[in-house]
Amino acid sequence: METAAAPTTAPHVLVVPFPAQGHTLPLLDFAGLLATRGLRLTVVTSPANLPLLSPLLAAHPGAVRPLTLPFPSNSSIPPGLESTRGCPPEYFPVFIHALTALREPVRAWARSRPSSDDDPIVAVVADFFCGWAQPLARELGAVGLVFSPSGVLGAAVPHSLFRRLVRRPAAAAEGGDKESFVVTFPAIPGEPAYQWREVSMVYRWYAEGREEDEQVRELVRQNFLWNLHDSWGFVFNSFKALEGRYLEQPLEDLGFRRAWAVGPVAPDADAAGARGGEAAVAAASLGAWLDPFPEGSVVYVSFGSQAVLTPAVAAALAEALERSAVPFVWVVSAGSSGVVPETFEARAAEAGRGMVVRGWAPQLATLRHPAVGWFMTHCGWNSVLEAAAAGVPMLAWPMTADQFVNARLLVDEARVAVPACAWGFGVAPDPGELATVLADAVGEKGRDVRARAKELAAEAARAVKPGGSSYADLDGLVQEIRNVH
């Protein structure tokens, strides 16, 4: 990896991640890009999350330092739990609230640094769930940047909801169907509309939460308003060929002052080593297992670091995989470990046709293996960008968060995905139909989407090279940070 010496006069940036894999990983990737461009970084973390920083610290010795603070104690979070990995979605607002308590210790650290006069913090880059860092940046005389682990559209939707305070009408007494309530977004290009269940869970939690949570709910809303009102702008892990449409219009319509699209930020698989923690199977072993399969014939199945499948959904998926006879790698996250039907795994292994990975998989490397032709995914934004960069089309199966918004973008606009099944909010799909979707994808019917995915990968690769849009946005941003100095 390219490393740049960061002289002590290099501008100093404070980085504030949110402790969920899907949030921390891309922000650390972005931090690596800043370090490569010669900036010095201090990354806020807590004892249990410190190991996630190891690859970044090793790649940029001297330029990147951790600031390890105790995880804020909070009555809703069990002691020792410092990350949302494997937690149900309701934990996100709780963590957003808990982390606001970091504002004081981070301020105290910044103020007490003996070198703060000749080595000031010039910029604070904080995850969009750490909005408190934006007013803190101001207090420190620094510029605040919001890092969005979602795409431009995926971030515009929740920020719009928190600005507008959209409420779902109470079910009409006669025949009203609360579930079919549709939210429209007239200020977003294309004026998208989503069912209530398809929009940000954090917003729905806010809008329909309990009265006794009033204080926490207001803080969660404030988090998003701080992003909008106190920041310099938003940094997106996205690129213009994918989401240019949302960046071209006057950005104020989306509520963003400024935007930089610098993605895909994930490193090449080779440099990724221990990205996200120790893998349950080494990239080399998984690669060796994949080697004998023809190009593009294997489906990689993974629903990210948070999703927990119900036994009924897992059974339908297992049956579909078996019926379709399509080779597969199925990553079963720690939270879902009990749901794989008994004997399924042994049968798949015996047939030499499928592998079940329990725990953490080396996703970047796997997506880039030539045998992998499709990715059945929950459409978490990192998975989306990693598949886009690898030229792997997607079988979209959104479940929560920004995933429905992402899935629609991929299927309807980018045309690099097809729906895996009817998006049923936890309802098990029909195994026969799902088997047909799988078989069609790897067959003739999937050809156009496969070709479009290859085109998008070429566009993603161009974006991050000199002369590309993401390269230019990153350059411009680094220059502006240097000018603050």
Active site residue 229: no
**Is residue 469 close enough to count as binding ligand UDP by CB under 6 A?**
no
12, 29, 97, 127: the catalytic one is 127
List 72, 276, 393, 429, residue binding ligand UDP (CB under 6 A) = 276
**Is residue 331 close enough to count as binding ligand UDP by CB under 6 A?**
yes
In the complex with ligand UDP, the residue whose CB is nearer, 148 or 363, is 363
User: Comparing C-alpha atoms, which of 105, 138, 99 is closest to residue 121?
Assistant: 138
In the complex with ligand UDP, the residue whose CB is nearer, 100 or 148, is 148
In the complex with ligand UDP, the residue whose CB is nearer, 40 or 275, is 275
Active site residue 475: no
In the complex with ligand UDP, the residue whose CB is nearer, 42 or 400, is 400
List 17, 66, 192, 380, residue binding ligand UDP (CB under 6 A) = 380
List 17, 22, 32, 264, residue binding ligand UDP (CB under 6 A) = 22
* Contact mark string toward ligand UDP, 159..198, x via CB under 6 A: ----------------------------------------
Token pair of 80 as six digits: 């020792």
**117 has which bridge partners?**
none
Place of tokens 């992402």: 406
User: Comparing C-alpha atoms, which of 468, 456, 368 is closest to residue 416?
Assistant: 456
Least gap, CB of 185 to ligand UDP (angstroms): 22
* Contact mark string toward ligand UDP, 75..114, x via CB under 6 A: ----------------------------------------
* Contact mark string toward ligand UDP, 385..424, x via CB under 6 A: -x--------------------------------------
Which positions touch ligand UDP (CB under 6 A)? 21-22, 25, 276, 302, 304-306, 331, 360-361, 363-364, 380-383, 386
Catalytic site positions: 23, 127
